[in-house]
Each structure stands twice: as structure tokens, then as C-alpha cells.
Amino acid sequence: MDKLRIIGGRPLHGQLTVGGAKNAALPLLCAALLSDQPVTLGNVPYLADVTTIAKLLMQHGMHLSLLDTGGTNLFGEKEAHGFYSRRLLLHTPEITSITAPYDLVRTMRASVLVLGPLLAREGRAKVSLPGGCAIGSRPVDLHLKAMEALGATITLEEGYVIATAPRGGLKGGEIHFEKISVGATENALMAASLASGTSVLSNAACEPEIEDLARMLRAMGARIEGAGTPTITVRGVSSLNGCAHEVIADRIETGTYLCAVALAGGELSLHRTRADTLIPVIAVLKTMGLHIEEREGGQMIYVRHDGSPLAPADIVTEAHPGFPTDMQAQLMSVLTHADGVSSISETIFENRFMHVPELARMGADISISGHTATITGPVKLKGAPVMATDLRASVAMVIAALAAEGETIVSRIYHLDRGYERLEEKLSMCGANITRVK
Ligand code: UD1
């Protein structure tokens, strides 16, 4: 199993191109199932999770082909280390299987996003209950209730969700989410786009990735209003066309580099990003003392830190537009360097503090009480062998290691490969001493 070896203490300097968002690419790929026409999807990140969903979609009947590999950076030069984004052609002339099997679904929770498209297009879906990051129980009840609100009948058999649309297909309905859920909102949007009549989604998630999905669905001919707000209206259509769409920039990858500079010091220019999708993260880091400038209408972010003490902060994770739970672990690494007592309350997922004992192995002073972690700083982190426990926790270890004295070995980095494309190559291009050990 691969590991990362990081020798801390080198500031970061340079330019990075941010990839397409994993959390947008996964639902967008699934949405292509809704049409029998070809869909071109650009800025697709090359990640383990994308490969997993591609395998799943292929066995449902989707043909995926690579149109080009990206391969050049924004200066038109070949990226030093290969491909950072890809353009895919997705075409599903017919659905060849309505079953999403356990073997594929168990490795990635986002696989449940095929439920809405299969049910809407074929009237039937059989989807294994998902696995994914070990950050709490993460049920799928909201996805199932949304499908029921569109007229589907749901049964659970031997670990599979069996969903059946009424005769004549799904029907528009009122979908109220008791709790805000990104994935359930996405499944509902996709299914309602092909349902007959009007659906109104209330207490919907407002994440930028939802807006991106709605943009692509509209380009396919869907009639959607209000995406990005808690109330979304979908007027169903009988069929959807193909389209060409670019995946939105990864706000979590961007935020991770901002945190890396806060820890390691130096300066980075982050290209092909979207500052407007990162407002709460930028606000917190600026308050702590990081120098951040938005340039080129927010598509480039310049960040600088001279290593002076950072101010502590009190953070509560919330659904968008609140502070994202996917940035919680990285910010915690940064807060170990802040001068004073900080706190982070995690309200989205239970059990999302698995990085705390690992950071403690590097010398961090963190205590947990219920949903709140208290971080006392500043501490000088020291290199140690640590273990990645989930995707964002893994990257929190990596950026902590950039600032730590001596060598850190991060093991179990298959978590990291699920969501960060060639992270070690990007960071070493900017001066970090980081290598992958096979
Ligand atoms: C998505 C993101 C993930 C991010 C999360 C919250 C993708 C592929 N993943 O995950 O990176 O951390 O949003 O921003 O986009 N819940 C239920 N029942 C359900 C569904 C969810 O109780 O049917 C709960 C979850 O356990 C969690 C909360 O709702 O406590 C939010 O989860 P949700 O927004 O659905 O997360 P995902 O879509 O799985």
C-alpha cells in the first residue's frame, strides 16, 4: 500500500491549477444516465472515486470515452506531471442493467446517485446500500423518501434498495427534506427532471455542486428554477437531450491549498478556481491573519503567509453557505498553529474527528467534548508516522506534515487518492518535500 513521506519545514511557492470538483463530477456523471443522447463533460478530475463511478455507469450501459486529457496548464504548457483534467464523452443509448451491485457501491457512498436517474429513465432501480467514508452512520433515508414523494415504491431486500416507479413513470410531488442533504437533493433533482408534472423541493441543499448539477440538467433541457436556494422548482419533461458541460472548480481542493500555505508559509497562486464558492473559508482564514487576494474575477486566488502568528478561531460546520464540513480537518491542522484557544463544532457528521488522535501524535493539543474539539496553540508540530482515516482527514495530515519538524509518513493514502489528483506532485512542484513510497 502506498504511503507519503513528507519532510516538513519548506515554504510553498508557485502556481497551481485547481481541478474539477469531485463532488460535482460524481452527480454530473450520473446525470448523463438520464439521456440517450451523448453528453460531453470537461474538467473531470482523475480520481479513484471517478473511476469507481465510471465502472458503475458502464455496467448500467453508459459508454465512456476520453476525448482529451487536459494535459496543458493555463499557460498552454504541458503540465510537468501529466493530466489534471479530462474531457469525457458519455453516452447511454440504453440502460442495460438497473442493478448497482454491492461490490461497486460499497466502496463509495456517492454510488447511490444512480438511484434517481435509473428510476426516472427506466422506472426501476436496484441499488445496494452504500459504504464510503467511515464518518458516521450516513443513512440514505432522505434519498428514499424523496423518491417516494415522486410516487416510487421502495422496498429493502438483502441489502438492496428496490425502487419502482408507478405505471407511466414518476410523478411530480412535494419533497420536503427533514434534514439538509446534498446527495438526496441531487437524486431528487435528477429524478424530478424526468417526472411528469411539477416538483417542489424544500429545505434543499444549496451547495455550489447542486447549482452545477442544475446547470447541466438545464443544458439537457430540464426546467429547474431556484437551485442554490432552499426551494427548487422542477417542471418535469418527457426526455432530456445531450449537452456539453464543464465541471465546476473544486472548492475543497482550493481551500486545502489555502490551509497548506497557512501552515507551511510562502505564497501560492491558485488558478482556475472560484472564490465565490469558498466565502466562509476565505473569511475565516483572513480573520486569522492569512493574506488572500481574489483576482481575475475570483478565478484566481493569491495567498501569502509570512509565518507570523495566526489568530485563533471558533468554527461551526454547517450546510452551505456555512463553513463546510469537508474543510474541517484541514482547518484543525491550521488551528494547531494559532496563538490561543480555538474550537471547532462538527454539526454535519458524527464521528468526524478521527484525525484528532493522529494530529495529537504530531504534538497537537486537542481535546474533544461531544461535537466540539478545542485546540490550544501554538504548538510546533513534529513529524510522526500517522494513518489516514478518511479523505479529508488524510489531507489534514499531509498539510500538517508540511509544517512539522522532521519526517512524517502518512499511510493508508488510498483515501487521499479518492479525492485529490496527484497531490504530492502538485505540492512538490511548489517546493514541498513530499514523495510517494510504493
Ligand atoms: C456530500 C459530499 C461530502 C460532504 C457532504 C456534506 C459528495 C459526493 N459528498 O455527501 O463530501 O461532506 O455532502 O457537505 O458530494 N443524511 C441522512 N439521511 C440521508 C442522507 C444524509 O440522515 O438520506 C445525513 C448524513 O448522515 C449527514 C447529513 O445528512 O449527517 C448530510 O449528509 P449529505 O449532505 O447527504 O452528504 P452526502 O451527500 O453523502
Q: Compute, in angstroms, the gap from residue 181 CA to the centroid of ligand 1.
A: 5
Return per-residue pLDDT of the chain as tens, 438 residues: 889 999 999 999 999 999 999 999 999 999 999 999 999 999 999 888 898 999 999 999 999 988 765 554 333 444 443 345 678 999 999 999 999 999 888 888 899 999 999 999 999 999 998 754 454 556 899 999 999 999 999 999 988 999 999 999 999 999 999 999 999 999 999 999 999 999 999 999 999 999 999 999 999 999 999 999 999 999 999 999 999 999 999 999 999 999 999 999 999 999 999 999 999 999 999 999 999 999 999 999 999 999 899 999 999 999 999 999 999 999 999 999 999 999 999 999 988 999 999 999 999 999 999 999 999 999 999 999 999 888 999 999 999 999 999 999 999 888 898 899 889 999 999 999 999 998
- Is 371 touching ligand 1 by the criterion CB < 6 Å? no
Q: Return the residue whose CA atom lies nearest to atom 22 of ligand 1.
A: 139
Active site residue 133: yes
CA angle (191 as vertex; 186, 194 as ends), nearest 5: 135
**Closest ligand 1 atom to the C-alpha of 320?**
14
Task: Output the CA torsion 20→26→29→34 (10° steps).
Answer: -140
- Is 349 touching ligand 1 by the criterion CB < 6 Å? yes
CA distance 250 to 421: 11
Residue pair 311/287 in contact by the 8 Å Cβ criterion: yes
* Mutation pick for ligand 1 pocket among 29, 143, 161, 181 (CB with most ligand atoms within 8 Å): 181
Q: What is the pLDDT of residues 92-125, one digit of tens each?
A: 999 999 999 998 888 888 999 999 999 999 999 9
- Is 111 touching ligand 1 by the criterion CB < 6 Å? no
Say which residues have a Cβ less than 8 Å from residue 283's Cβ, sequence separation at least 6.
none
Q: Compute, in angstroms, the gap from residue 228 CA to the centroid of ligand 1.
A: 16
Q: What is the pLDDT of residues 322-370, one digit of tens each?
A: 999 999 999 999 999 999 999 999 999 988 999 999 999 999 999 999 9
- Is 182 touching ligand 1 by the criterion CB < 6 Å? yes
Q: Which of 133, 206, 243, 259 is catalytic?
A: 133
- Is 192 touching ligand 1 by the criterion CB < 6 Å? no
Distances (CA, A) of 420 to 9, 171, 219, 313, 401: 22, 38, 28, 26, 17
CA distance 171 to 143: 16
* Mutation pick for ligand 1 pocket among 30, 141, 182 (CB with most ligand atoms within 8 Å): 182
Q: Compute, in angstroms, the gap from residue 205 CA to the centroid of ligand 1.
A: 10
**Closest ligand 1 atom to the C-alpha of 138?**
26
Other C-beta atoms lying within 10 Å of the C-beta of residue 409: 16
CA distance 249 to 209: 9
- Whether 3-16+250-437 shares its CATH topology with 24-246 is answered yes
- Is 181 touching ligand 1 by the criterion CB < 6 Å? yes
Q: Return the residue whose CA atom lies nearest to atom 15 of ligand 1.
A: 23
- One-letter amino acid at 101 equals P
CA distance 356 to 376: 13
Q: Which CATH number does 3-16+250-437 carry? A: 3.65.10.10
Q: Compute, in angstroms, the gap from residue 363 CA to the centroid of ligand 1.
A: 31
Q: Which of 239, 236, 217 is nearest to 227 (CA)?
A: 217
Determine whether 197 is exposed, middle or buried from the number of CB atoms within 10 Å of its CB (0-12, 13-18, 19+).
Answer: middle
- Is 136 touching ligand 1 by the criterion CB < 6 Å? yes
**Closest ligand 1 atom to the C-alpha of 182?**
34
Q: What pTM was computed for the model?
A: 0.95
Q: Compute, in angstroms, the gap from residue 182 CA to the centroid of ligand 1.
A: 6
- Is 436 touching ligand 1 by the criterion CB < 6 Å? no
Per domain, the residue ranges of the chain are: 3-16+250-437, 24-246
**Closest ligand 1 atom to the C-alpha of 143?**
23
CA distance 215 to 349: 28
Residue pair 195/171 in contact by the 8 Å Cβ criterion: yes
Superfamily of domain covering 24-246: Enolpyruvate transferase domain (3.65.10.10)
- Is 140 touching ligand 1 by the criterion CB < 6 Å? yes
**Closest ligand 1 atom to the C-alpha of 132?**
39
Q: What is the pLDDT of residues 407-438, one digit of tens each?
A: 999 998 888 988 998 899 999 999 999 999 98
Say what the pLDDT of residue 139 is.
87
- Is 419 touching ligand 1 by the criterion CB < 6 Å? no
Distances (CA, A) of 296 to 16, 132, 275: 15, 36, 10
CA distance 12 to 305: 10
Q: Compute, in angstroms, the gap from residue 23 CA to the centroid of ligand 1.
A: 11
